Structure 1
Amino acid sequence: MKIKIVNGKIIAPDGIIENGTILINNGSILEVSRRDVEISEDTCVIDAEGKYISPGFIDIHVHGGGGYDFMDGTIEAFLKIAETHVQYGTTAMNPTTLTSEVDDLFNTLDNYREANKQNTKGSQFLGVHLEGPYFALSQRGAQDPRYIRNPDPKEYKKILDYSDDIVRWSAAPELTGAIEFGRYVKSKGKVLALAHTDAIYEEVLEGYNNGYSLATHFYSAMAGVTRRNAFRYAGAVEAGYLIDDMDVEAIADGIHLPPPLLKLIYKIKGPDRIALITDAMRGAGMPEGESILGNIHTGLKVIIEDGVAKLPDRTAFAGSVATADRLVRTMINQGEVPLVDVIKMITQTPARIMGVSDKKGSLEVGKDADIVLFDDNINIEMTIVKGDVKYRSSVKEDTLAI
C-alpha cells in the first residue's frame, strides 16, 4: 500500500521538519518533504496530528517481554516478544540469549529461524545476539553460573558454523582464549562486544584491538577502578571512556543507570557512540510481581518491583523490564538530553553498530519505512514496520483514509 504521513514533526538526520510529509511505497520511503505532496487515489493518508514522526526504534539487546523469553524454547516466545515491543516503538531488534548448554542454544537458533519466517505482526528480527557463556564468573550478574566457561575453539566454531543468523557475540576479553575467540568472531563478520568482565584497561585495549568494539550494558557487570597488590588500575568502565571509537550500550531506565551516570555517558561518549538498549527480560510490558529470568521451566525466579527485576532477596537487580519508549523518555527527562540526540541513540547509532544503516536508522529516501509516531510525552501512537502498520494506539480510525 502507498502511504502518505502528513501534519507531523519529522525527526530527520539534520533536525526536525515541521509540518513535513513522508511518502511510502512498497515498504520503502519514497519522499521526505517540507511541503505537502500530491498523491494518487490509492494512497492511504495518515494524519499525525502534530505529533513526532520518528525513525523506528532499534533494540540491539533484548531478552524478552510480554511474559516470554527467547530462551523459552518455543517459536511462540519469539513472536509474542516481537508483538509486545512493537507496541512501544521498537521496529527492529536483536533477540538475545543467556548462558546455556549448547543444545539449548541450538534449539533457540532453530526457533529463531522459523519464527523469522512467521513474524508478521511484531518488530523485525535483525539476527541473534549471543550473550555468553564466556564470562568472568565474578561478574556473572544474573547469568546462570553453571554454564559460564572460557572460550573453547571447538565449541564456538561449531556454534558459528551451525547458524548464519548469529550477528553478534558478547564475551569477557580477559579470559584465557578470549583474544583468539575475538579474532575468529571478527573474521566471520560478526559484531563482538565485551561483557560481564573483570578486565582492566590494558586488557580491554587488547580486546578492542582484536575486535571487541562495543561495551555491552555499560557499567553493568563490569568493573571500574580497582586495586591489585596496592596499585590502582583503570577498569572496563574507564576503558569505555578512553577508547574514543568504542561504542557503548546504555540501559536508560533510570535504575540500572541513574541520572548522573546517564549525563556522564552522554557528556563523554556523545550520541554517535551510545546505543540505548532495553536488555528487557520477560517482565517488560507486564504487571509487577513474581517472574522468571531465562527459560520458563529452568530459569531464575525473580521479583519485578520499582520498575526493575530483582533477585528474590533483593540484593541485586536481575534484569530490565524497560521498553524503548521508556528509554527515550528517561534520557530526555533524567539525562537532560535533547530529543534529536536521544532519537539518534536508539535509531542511527544502533543501525550503524549492527551494519544495517543502509536500510534502517533514519528517515531517508530509499530506506525501509520503519516509523514511529509519538506525542510530547513519548507515548507511542503508531508503529510502522517496512510500510506496514503493526500497532495503533490512540490515533483515531478517521485519521486513516484511503
Structure 2
Amino acid sequence: METGFLQIINGNVITPFEIRYNASVLIKDGCIEGIFGDNRSLPEVDTIDARGRYVSPGFIDLHVHGGGGHDFMDGDLEGFLEIARMHARHGTTAMVPTSLTSTREQLLELLKIYEKAKQANDRGAVFLGMHLEGPYFAMNQRGAQDPRYIRDPDPAEYEEILAHSHLIARWSAAPERKGALEFGRRLREKGVLAAMAHTDAVYEEVLAAIEAGYTLSTHLYSGMSGVTRRNAFRYAGVIESSLLLDALDVEIIADGIHLPAPLLKLIYKVKGPEKIALITDAMRGAGMPEGESMLGHKEGGLKVIIEDDVAKLPDRSSFAGSVATADRLVRTMLQKADVSLLEAVKMISQTPARIMGIDNKKGAIQEGMDADLLLFDSNITISMTMVEGKIIHRHNASGEINQ
C-alpha cells in the first residue's frame, strides 16, 4: 500500500461552497490532498467506504466545560482527556476547554494541567487553548457563575495569568466593569480573543468595548442585558448590540432549550452563518443520565440537576450549562431553525475556525487543510471521527476500512 495516503470514497462531501455528491477525499500525511468528483479508489491506497454518508469537516467547539462526568475545573489530567474523547464521539475534532469564575490560584493551576493534557491528548478532540470564562463579570448577570469569586479586572492578577498567554485562546469578561476596557486592550496586545459575557452593558458601553478589542459575544442571550431603561430612557443592551453590530461575532448554545426556535431563527436571519458559532457550553453532565450533578469542581462546585435535556440550578431559577454535544447542535439548527445542512455545518466548523484565527488549517474540506473529518448520516449520527488523518472514533468498523 502507498504509505501516508488514505482515501474516503462514496461520500457526500461538504465543502465550504457546496455538497459534492458521490465524491471522494484523498488524505496524505494528515492533510487533505484533494477532493474528487468520482468514487474510484486509487490503486495501492487504503480506502474508507463512506457508503453514501456525508463527509464533513470536523466540528469546532469554542466553549465547553466538560462531559462524560468530568469538568475541566476538576483540574484532573485524565478528566481533560476523557472530555476530549467523549466529545470526539459526537463529532468534535477541536475544542476550547473553558473555565468558570474562580480564584487566581485555581486558574493558574488549571493552566498547568491544560499544558500537560495538550501534550498527552492523542485520542480525542484537539485542544486549541483555554477559554477563561470570568471572573470579571456583572453580578446581576452571573447565572450559575459562583458569586464568591466575581470581581473587577485587576492588572496585578491578570498580568500574572497572561504570563501564560500561549496557553490561553480567549477570555470572557463584562466590559462595563471598572478596568475592563484596559483589560480588553491588554488581551488584544497578547493575541488573546476578548469576548463579552455575563454583562449588563448598554449599547454605548458595547461600542467602547469593541474599540478596546472585544470581538465576540459569549453565548448570545444567556447572561447578558437586553433593552433596559435608565431615567425613563430606553437603551439597547448587549443582545441588541450584538445583533446590530457587524464588528461582533456571536456564539449560541443551539441545544433548542437555551434558545428556542424563534430566537435561533432571528439570530440566523440577522447575523448569518458567517458570524455565528454553534457551541455546546457543555458541563460534566453531557453524555450522562439525568439526575444530580455538579457545575465546576467536583468537590467545591455548584450542585445542579440535569432534567429536560439541560442542567439547572436546584431551585430551577436558571440554566446551569448545557448537556449538549456538537451533533445535537447541528440537528437542532436543521430541525428547529430551518437552516440548510451546508450552513449548519459552516457554523460549527468554518466560522469558529475563522473566529479563532485557525481557518488556514482547520474548519473546511479543502486542499492543504488538516484532515479533521467526520462521517455521519442524515440524522447527524456520527460513525467516524478523524483528527489530522488519524481515526479516533469509529462507531461500526465492520467493512468500512479496507487495508
Q: When the two structures are superposed, what TM-score results if normalisation uses the length of structure 2? A: 0.98
Q: Cα RMSD (Å) of the superposition?
A: 0.9
- Residue matched to 1:221: 223
Return the match for 1:361 from 350, 356, 363. Answer: 363
The AA in structure 2 aligned to 1:112 is Y
Counterparts in 2 of 1:3-402, with a 5 A limit? 3-36=6-39, 39-41=42-44, 43-394=45-396, 396-402=397-403
- Residue matched to 1:2: 5
1:152-201 CA distance string (max 9 Å, x none): 11111110003411011100011111111100100111111000000001
After TM superposition, the runs of 4+ consecutive aligned structure 1 residues lying more than 4 A away are none
Preserved contact between residue 127 and residue 166 of structure 1 (Cα < 8 Å): yes
Secondary structure of 2:242 counterpart: helix
Structure 2 Cα separation of the partners of residues 162 and 30 of structure 1: 35
The AA in structure 2 aligned to 1:27 is G
Secondary structure of 1:185 counterpart: helix
The AA in structure 1 aligned to 2:178 is T
Preserved contact between residue 165 and residue 192 of structure 2 (Cα < 8 Å): no
Secondary structure of 2:293 counterpart: strand
1:334-364 CA distance string (max 9 Å, x none): 0111111110000000000000000000001
Structure 2 Cα separation of the partners of residues 256 and 350 of structure 1: 20
Preserved contact between residue 109 and residue 163 of structure 1 (Cα < 8 Å): no
Preserved contact between residue 101 and residue 150 of structure 2 (Cα < 8 Å): yes
Preserved contact between residue 7 and residue 41 of structure 2 (Cα < 8 Å): no
1:66-112 CA distance string (max 9 Å, x none): 00000101101110000100000000000011011111111111111
Structure 2 Cα separation of the partners of residues 296 and 234 of structure 1: 38
Per-residue deviation, 1:58: 0.1
The AA in structure 2 aligned to 1:94 is V
1:281-319 CA distance string (max 9 Å, x none): 000111111100000110111000000001111121111
Structure 2 Cα separation of the partners of residues 158 and 264 of structure 1: 41
The AA in structure 1 aligned to 2:402 is A
Secondary structure of 1:85 counterpart: helix
Secondary structure of 2:205 counterpart: helix
Cα 1:202–1:226 change in 2 (3 A) is: same
The AA in structure 1 aligned to 2:163 is D
Preserved contact between residue 245 and residue 273 of structure 1 (Cα < 8 Å): no
Structure 1 Cα separation of the partners of residues 77 and 54 of structure 2: 34
Secondary structure of 2:38 counterpart: coil
For this pair of structures, how many residues does the alignment match? 400
Preserved contact between residue 15 and residue 340 of structure 1 (Cα < 8 Å): yes
Structure 1 Cα separation of the partners of residues 318 and 136 of structure 2: 21
The AA in structure 2 aligned to 1:401 is N
Structure 2 Cα separation of the partners of residues 399 and 379 of structure 1: 16
The AA in structure 1 aligned to 2:137 is F
Q: What 5-or-longer segments of structure 1 have no aligned partner?
A: none
The AA in structure 2 aligned to 1:22 is V
Structure 2 Cα separation of the partners of residues 37 and 93 of structure 1: 34
Using the aligned pairs only, state the percent identity: 60
Preserved contact between residue 62 and residue 278 of structure 1 (Cα < 8 Å): yes
Per-residue deviation, 1:40: 4.3
Q: What 5-or-longer segments of structure 2 have no aligned partner?
A: none
Secondary structure of 2:113 counterpart: helix
Structure 2 Cα separation of the partners of residues 348 and 269 of structure 1: 15
